[in-house]
Amino acid sequence: MIQRFRNILFLLIFSSLALFGQETLPPYHWANDVIDYLKVAGHLPGVDVNQRPLERDAIARELLKIGWQQQLSAKDRSIIRLLYREFSPEIAQLARLGDWRELFNTAMGILKLPLEIPDRSTAIKPGFFGELYLQDSRDTKTQTEYDAHATVMGNLNQSFTFYSNLRVFSDAPSTYIGKEYRNLYGYMEQGYLQYRQDWLSIKVGRDWLQSGPGRDAQLLFSANSRPFDMYYLKFGKSVLQFSFWGMQLDRQRIIDDRSYIANRYLNGHSLRLNLRNRIYIGISEVALYGGENRSWEMGFVNPLSFYYLYNLNQEVGGTNANVLYTIDWDLYVFPQMNIYGEFLIDDYQVDNAVPGDLEPAELGLLLGFQWANPAGFSGSKLHLAYTQVRNRTYNVAAPPFGKYLHRNEEIGHYLGNNFWQLALELDYWLKPELQLTGFTRFTKQGEGSVAGVFNEDFLNFTPEEGYDEPFPFGIVERDWQSGVRVFYKPHHLAYLRFDLTYSDISNFQHFEGQATSDMQLRVAAGWEWEKLWR
């Protein structure tokens, strides 16, 4: 039996010769914007943006698959060349395999890139990247800060990868959980082991998880909170995929009738369908639970369990979970256009027998539209998005550790709940290395938060009286922001960012009649270096 187990383990680690460098792309990486544009423009149809963070080797594969015989504008070809340079280690490694070598040679001939095919598959890649930035506004003094990362990636036989990303920075938000030493903060932002075959992916460690097609934010999992300590498994080919995961969230000190430490966990599973890279549909269910001295709940760890039913039929002493659902869609049915959306269900009352049944529905909705090269405006992308998250969504009345938070940050949308927002953005690549962005967004947000008290005003009414409340609820803050962003990458080792935002706010901080405005400036110089050793 032991020998058989060893043989299986040996095969899992050493048999696959199809993959390289399953390093994930951080959500703040500049290449994400370029990939989004090329995806909508139709040049990277196989990139699944609904499951982020994207993996570098998957991006390299889609870059090699680009059909050079199709109509590519000179600007798009130059933008693609910029990505080829960024993902050159992964592209060159793929070229070792016979099926990819011809595509590699064709691309090198067209793009005039001097990439060499390595003679070994095992590799170590240390790296260093970060930003030195200045930020200023009317209300705060000028600050100069830095954010630096040291990374290392190791690859064994094109199937097994380890990756670590140590972050050190000088400015932390007020919600930050962690130590500070002489204005210095730091933690492991990423650190995971991953194994992947053509039909299987297994990841254990710390990384981001984003679910859904939203570009700036998602409703179920966004990049707003810190990366998660988790296990993550995905089965299937590109047409049909099933994934499940378990996360150990931060512990919380609960002060109720007594004080105790609550362990917290989040389990989830998702089923995704991809129809010819034109129609993507996903259904997900998650459960957040925990308690004093609680460990993993096997009914939620079970990937084939229906969390709602398990939660409904809990035995005495069992944990009460915060269960959420989403359905999302990402459509590319019209040339150079993308229609996407995500619908979240936190709680919905069907009965109308007791005051508790009057609790308003806790829902979220995200709708988006993207148009590449609108009206023939080459090298541009128009993006329109509408988002609303109803009052009390992500929040719970009890237990207090069931709020949809990780390390004091929202796991879902970064604005939390009780808001709606309309956003418009236009990206334009003046040159492949020079991106200009103009944006405007209008937000109405009511009182309360995910971390705050769960409002129970509805309990003061009878089912005969009914209960209704405005949305957003409470004194509504109105925030209109407009601005410009500039990203310039003059060299493969460096880039510059410029952000200028004007905000006009009424009912500021939910005080009736209080108005303010602000101009915010952020200028950053970034660097990125990595070296692949074979």
Average pLDDT for residues 171-190, to the nearest whole number?
A: 93
Say which DSSP state 239 is in.
S
* 20 within 8 A of 53, measured Cβ to Cβ: no
> Shortest CA distance to 207 belongs to which of 87, 55, 58?
55
Q: Tell me, what's the pLDDT at 474? A: 97
Confidence of residue 10 (pLDDT cuts 50, 70, 90): very low
Query: Do you know the residue count of the chain?
Result: 534
Q: Beta 210-211 vs 228-236: how paired, if at all?
A: unpaired
118 versus 65: which is more confidently predicted?
65
% of the chain at pLDDT higher than 70: 94
User: Hey, how many other C-beta atoms are within 10 angstroms of the C-beta on 141?
Assistant: 7
Give 69: exposed, middle or buried? Use CB within 10 Å, 0-12, 13-18, 19+: exposed
* Cross-strand bridge partners of residue 327: 283, 343
Would you say residue 7 has pLDDT above 60? no
Q: And the tokens for 137?
A: 């506004």
Q: Determine the average pLDDT of the residues in 233-260.
A: 94
Tokens of 197: 């075959």
Which residues, in sequence order, are bridge partners of residue 134?
144, 523
> How much is the pLDDT for 4?
36
Average pLDDT, the chain: 92
For the chain, the structural domain boundaries read 1-118, 199-418
Q: What is the DSSP letter of 459?
A: G
CA 397 vs CA 74, 97, 271, 355, 452: distances in Å:
57, 56, 30, 15, 10
Strand partners, 526: 131, 495
CA–CA separation, 166 and 181 (whole Å): 16
Residue labelled with tokens 């929040």: 395
* Residue 121 confidence (pLDDT): 65
Query: With 70 as the cut, is the pLDDT of residue 224 above it?
Result: yes
DSSP tag of 221: B
pLDDT at 394 over 50: yes
User: Letter for the amino acid at 496?
Assistant: L
Record the pTM: 0.92
Can you give the pLDDT at residue 5? 32
**DSSP-derived pairing of the beta strands 405-406 and 228-236:** unpaired
Please report which helix (H) or strand (E) contains residue 384, including its range: strand 380-389
The greatest distance separating any two alpha carbons of the chain, rounded to the nearest whole angstrom, comes to 77
297 to 301, 335, 411: CA distances (angstroms):
6, 46, 20
The pLDDT confidence band at residue 138, using thresholds 50, 70 and 90, is confident
HEC profile of 153-181: EEEECCCEEEEEEEEEECCCCCCCCCCCC
Distance CA 39, CA 12 (A): 32
Are residues 132 and 144 in contact, defined by beta-carbon separation less than 8 angstroms?
yes
Each residue's pLDDT tens digit, 395-419: 999 888 999 999 999 999 999 999 9
Element (H, E) at 79: helix 74-86
Residues 348, 313 contacting (CB under 8 angstroms) = no
pLDDT attached to residue 8:
29
Range of lowest pLDDT (116-130, 174-188, 463-477): 116-130
> Of 353, 351, 345, 339, nearest to 278 (Cα)?
339
